[in-house]
Amino acid sequence: MGDHQQRVILAKLGLDGHDRGIKVVARILRDAGMEVIYLGLRQTTASIVAAAEEEDADAIGLSMHNAGHLTLGPKMAEAITAAGLDIPLIIGGIVPDEDVEELMNTGIAAVLGPGASAEEVVATVQDAISARDKA
């Protein structure tokens, strides 16, 4: 699995249209040598799951800026599990520190807050993928 090209899906779930952060993250991951399948705005849990299956994604990244993370984050994690997929879910955006634990308890692999550096972004995604591969 060492030379396996990592493929990451990036998407915005729901109506929130803030895409500055997710676009920056897409470039950071590309520049780290990953393949980013960019789904863009207004995705549903179903469309993300379908894309993850078809693209054989190694990780899914969601960006959230509308305080919907406690509703939509766990909903996405559930949808991934319900589909029988073993793909780590990473949430980025405006997530208060006190919500991180709650999110992690609902099956989200990692949370990237505002101001995360490029290195943190790449390391978080890689760690989530290798934790899955080891499990």
Partner 1 sequence: MGTEENQELNARKAWELEYQKASLRDSNFETMSGVPVEPVYGDDLFPGQYPYTRGIYPSMYRSRLWTMRMFAGFGTAEDTNLRFKELLRNGGTGLSTAFDMPTLMGRDSDSEWSLGEVGRAGVAVDTLADMEDLFADIDLSQVSTSMTINGPAATLLAMYVAVAEQTGVEPHQLAGTIQNDILKEYQAQKEYIYPPRPSMRIVTDMVKYTTAEMPKWHPISISGYHIREAGSTAAQELAFTLANGFSYVEAAIAAGQNVNEFGKRLSFFFNSHSDFFEEIGKFRAARRIWARWMKERYGATDEKAMLCRFHTQTAGVSLTAQQPEINIARVGIQALAAALGGTQSLHTDSFDEALALPTEDAARIALRTQQIVAHETGVVNVADPLGGSPYVEWMTDEMERQAEAIFAHLDDLGNGSILEGTFNGIENGYFVGEIADAAYRFEREVNSGRRIIVGVNEFTDGDNPEDRNLLRIGAETEEYQLKRLNDVKTKRNQEHVNSALSEITAVASDPTRNLMPAIIAAVKTYATEEEIANAMEVVFGTYVEKAIV
Partner 2 sequence: MTSSSDAATALFKSAVKGERRSLGKLLTAIERGGDQAEIIAGLAHQVSGNTHVVGITGAPGSGKSTLTGRLLKLFSEAGDKLAVLAVDPSSPLTGGAILGDRIRMDDLAGEESFIRSMATRGHSGGLALAVPAAIQLFDAVGYEPVIIETVGVGQVEVDVAGAADTTVVVVTPGMGDAVQANKAGLLEVADIFVVNKSDRPGASDARRDLELMLDLGHVSGLEQMTGYRPPIIMANSLEGTGADEVLDAIKSHAEYLRNSGKIHIRQKDRLVMEIQNRIELLIGSTASHILESDLGANSITKVLDRKISPAEAAKSIVGSIIASE
Interaction site with partner 1 (CB under 8 A): 14-20, 23-24, 26-28, 36, 38, 40-42, 44, 66-68, 70-72, 75, 94, 96-98, 113-115, 117-119
Nearer to partner 2, 36 or 79 (CB): 36
**Minimum distance from CB of 84 to partner 1 (Å)?**
22
Alpha-carbon distance of 39 to 128, in angstroms, equals 20
Take residue 26 and report the two structure tokens written for it: 């897409």
Which residues of the shown chain bind partner 2 in the complex (CB under 8 A)?
Answer: 3-5, 7, 26-27, 29-40, 47, 50-51, 53-56, 84-85
**Minimum distance from CB of 86 to partner 1 (Å)?**
25
18-21, Cβ contacts within 8 angstroms, sequence gap of 24 or more: 18/63, 18/65, 18/66, 18/93, 19/63, 21/63, 21/65, 21/92, 21/93, 21/114
**Minimum distance from CB of 78 to partner 2 (Å)?**
18
Nearer to partner 2, 85 or 104 (CB): 85
54 makes contact, choosing from partner 1, partner 2, none, with CB < 5 to 8 Å by partner type, with partner 2
70: closest CA among 130, 14, 9, 11? 14
50 makes contact, choosing from partner 1, partner 2, none, with CB < 5 to 8 Å by partner type, with partner 2
Strands 89-93 and 59-64, bridge-based pairing: parallel
Measured in residues, the chain has a length of 135
Nearer to partner 2, 99 or 127 (CB): 127
